[in-house]
Structure 1
Amino acid sequence: MSLSRKKKWLCGSIGTVLLLSVVYMSLPYYARQALVHWMPVIDDLETFHRNVVHHNPGDVWHWERAENYNRYRLLPADSAYLDSLHTVSFLVIRHDSILFESYRDGWNDTLTSNLYSATKTIVGLLTGIALDEGKIHSLDDKVSRYIPSYTKGMQADVTVRDLLTMSGGMAWDESYASLFSVMTHGYYGNDLYRLVTGLEVTDRPGVQFSYRSGETQLLAFVLETATGETLSRYAEEKLWKPMQAERDAYWLLDKEGGDEKAFCCFHTTARDVARFGRLMLHRGNWNGEQLVSQAYMDEMLRPASYLKDQWGRDSLNYYGLQTWIMHYHGEAIPCMRGMLGQYIYAIPSEDAIVVRLGRKRHDVYEGPFTVDMTRYLDIARRILAGG
């Protein structure tokens, strides 16, 4: 290459870099962060600022190992299926004893995973506690009672119950792949409060279920106002320590000293997240202490059938208060559900809990659920039958 051509190439390269730099710096903060980190991953603990949700080392309740712990051998097809979607943890617990426990892809029982939207159920539980304590006066309270600025147009009609049932009508775009979606803004941005309180309500509240992460985030701000505590501290006091967790958990923030990402980002281990399954099985009771009232739990784990479903055709039969309800072999199974396949199932007929954490979920749906959710229950059913 001649000297003149080298100079032209160098000048062109520098110009391209400068142009890209200008374009990058002109993007909003959340878009720049999204470009740096790209797609969400389960081990993003170091990517964001976070609050610690402390456990009490002096008061830990451990899962027992069943007499036939891990004697069951997965069918080759089941093992291959777990690997195909990059499962990192698969636990089956019955009668408070771990029957089957598998860690894969370099994972172990001490590593924490982002639960993503399974976190929403935790927010639902905390709302029930605040209601039980009288800090939230009624689920039919208007959101504006706690957030006085939430009165623009139909915002004024939205109730706490509407947020719990994802029927608040918020103009929230649940798009995970778009660089400029409100979902990307919420996950990578540093201004959650301004974002969700500023969004309009475009659908009549309390009519139809439509999955909107922003409504859980708004619910968290209601909780913080009502309780006078951060979400992390309230969870620590009312759930994590009373449930006698084995390890500290973490709640990711939108910025240093900022707000918890209530719609997505609780970090914990597979064994500790199973405690939420146990709490669902026992209708809010933990070893004799009623952490959440049974009346609230009954509503939480029952579909909000007065609403239309997401297609607007039928009565809603698969979502309660920040909790999914699967219909499997004639049984209603409450479950927590995260975007990369973070699933915690409570199976009442078996007194069993199933935890699946992983890096990927299936993209094919049957109704409101992806097909992998049924497949994991099928695998668990075989383990329970064999154990």
Structure 2
Amino acid sequence: MKIFKRVLILLLIVITVIMIVNYPKLNILSGYSAKNTASSVFVANRSLAFTDKTDNNFAPVNLADDEVNLNTKTATSSAFGLLTRKAIYRKGLGTVLTLSKEDENAKYLVPDRVLAPNNITPYPYGNGKQKDTLFTNIEYTKLNKTVASVFGRNQSRAVLVIYKDKIIAEKYAKGFNKHSKILGWSMTKSVLSTVFGIMEYQGKLKVTDKAPITSWQKDERKNITIHNLLQMNSGLEWDENYDEISDATTMLFLERDMTKIQENKPLVGKINSSWNYSSGTSNLLSGIVRSQFSTHQQYLDYWYSDLIDRIGMNSMILEADLAGNYVASSYAWATPRDWGKFGLLYLHKGNWNGDQIFAKDWVDYVTKPAPSSENSYGAQFWLNANGRLKDVPKNMYFADGYQGQRVYILPDQDLVVVRMGLSWMDENTFLSGIISSIE
């Protein structure tokens, strides 16, 4: 009996230690599941069953139990019944994880979106049906076969191919269509970069300016420019790890104001020579955008009035943190067709049907490789300048998001390719297949 008691006590000690060590991870696990569930149901209009089956079906997120309340528009997720997180829907701002009971009833400002969707003008300059166009230089059988090749079990949700402003291929997985909003994850960073391009074109700031961060003015960080931040080349400390408790997971699932966590990091590298991918930097930049306006309302409206709704991306929703900052690292939802419009804006060097949104040379700026990035990164856009995709032109560049969200811009081919997915694919084979189908 004494031996049994000792074994039992030892077992309890081991279980207690395991729980103490892993409890913070449960916070992240249940937080991810609650946030993702709430956005999927209340932003993308999917069912809970569909969300659990297709969005939250990977380890360890699938260990959480999810519930939604359609009346209060909230979602809760519990990890083994030990820790429960709640996410709430806020009209105009998407969903957000709460950190206290007071967050559920807090007042908040919302963006004023005054431009209604244009359902008459044909796509892409409206949302109307495009005029049927058959290009004689396209091998459609090969094109459609290439597009179909990236669909299958949990691989792609949508693919859209736009050539000379015309959709030449479009395919959706079961449960999705041209009206489905899909999370772009880190493609949101490219939207953020575009906002800076617009602000510079309008004379509101210069990306060569020193970053307007008061807390940096008494140390070497005062020399960091907006340009350095856009290129992820500030030299600031940051841990972008989603498998552990890290700067990135702490920011997304435990912070009230996501613009501050990168601000508070020390300089550990050399400015302009220490490339380090950082979602915290993108949210810091969102805070810098906010600082350029005299009111919070102006900040909220600007992203839509001067970019998103201006080019008819009317489906897009930017989600905000509890402090009212757009989460520019991760949380933009839009239909594949609207993501396609974003790519076309860059293909046409900022000109949208005669309206110059940003300077033509902004494209040259965002595609210039950041020092020490091995020619793989520009200003919140990824590049093929290093020839990683060996059968794709080196001047191809793209917005990139978790789980294979992509907007590829191919200037030489007059192509924009959108791929929304749930897993990795062979990008080189996919893109080269599309390119070779066009003579």
TM-score (norm 2): 0.70
Alignment TM-score, normalising by the size of structure 1: 0.79
Give the distance between the partners of 1:88 and 1:65, measured in 2 at CA: 25
Alpha-carbon separation, structure 2, partners of 1:55 and 1:91 = 28
In structure 1, stretches of 5+ residues that fail to align are 1-11, 310-315, 363-371
Q: 1:37 aligns with which of 32, 36, 47?
A: 32
Corresponding residue number in structure 2 for 1:368: none
Q: Distance in 1 between matches of 2:413 and 2:153?
A: 27
Using the alignment, how far apart are the partners of 1:155 and 1:338 within structure 2?
29
Matching of residue 234 in structure 1 with residue 293 in structure 2:
no
> For 1:32, what is the secondary structure of its paired residue?
helix
Secondary structure at the aligned position of 2:175 is classed as coil
Structure 2 gaps, min length 5: 1-8, 43-86, 94-110, 124-129, 386-390
RMSD over aligned Cα, in angstroms?
3.4
Corresponding residue SS for 1:195 = coil
Q: CA deviation at 1:169?
A: 1.5
Q: Is the 8 A contact 2:187 2:400 kept in 1?
A: yes
> Is structure 2 residue 321 aligned with structure 1 residue 254?
yes
Q: Does 1:340 align with 2:403?
A: yes
Residue 308 of structure 1 corresponds to 372
- AA of the residue aligned to 2:203: G
Aligned to 1:120: 189
Distance 1:165 1:194, change over 3 A: closer
**2:415 aligned residue:** 352
In structure 1, the residue matched to 2:173 is: 104
Q: Spell out, residue by residue over 1:279-320, the C-alpha distance to the aligned partner (whole angstroms, 9 max, x if none).
A: 11111111111100113232123324xx123xxxxxx42322
Name which structure has the greater RCO, CA cutoff 8 Å, separation 6+: 1
Query: Distance in 2 between the 1:19 and 1:164 partners?
Result: 44
CA distances 1:243-288 after superposition (whole Å, capped 9, x unpaired): 023x332112223x63221111111010001111111111111111
Aligned residue number for residue 57 of structure 1? 116
**In the superposition, relative to structure 1, how do residues 124 and 31 fare at CA in structure 2: closer, same or farther (>3 Å)?**
farther
Over 3 Å counting, the alpha-carbon distance change for 1:270 and 1:75 in structure 2 is closer
CA distance in 1, matches of 2:416, 2:154: 20
Cα distance in 1 for residues equivalent to 2:171 and 2:114: 24
CA drift of 1:376 comes to: 2.6
Conserved 8 A contact 1:43-1:114: no
Q: For structure 1, which segment, 51-60 or 261-270, has the greater mean C-alpha deviation from structure 2 after superposition?
A: 51-60
Indicate if the aligned counterparts of 2:210 and 2:224 stay in contact, CA closer than 8 A.
yes
| Residues 231 and 260, structure 1, Cα contact 8 Å, conserved in 2 | no
Identity of aligned residues (%): 23
Q: Is the 8 A contact 2:147 2:159 kept in 1?
A: no
SS in 1 for 2:368: coil
Q: Which amino acid aligns with 1:374?
A: N
1:272 maps to: 338
Matched residues, number: 348
Structure 2 vs 1, CA of residues 189 and 220 (structure 1 numbering), >3 Å: closer, same or farther?
Answer: same
The SS at the match of 2:171 is: strand
Pick closer, same or farther for the CA change 1:334–1:39 going to 2, 3 Å: farther
Q: Distance in 1 between matches of 2:401 and 2:154?
A: 14
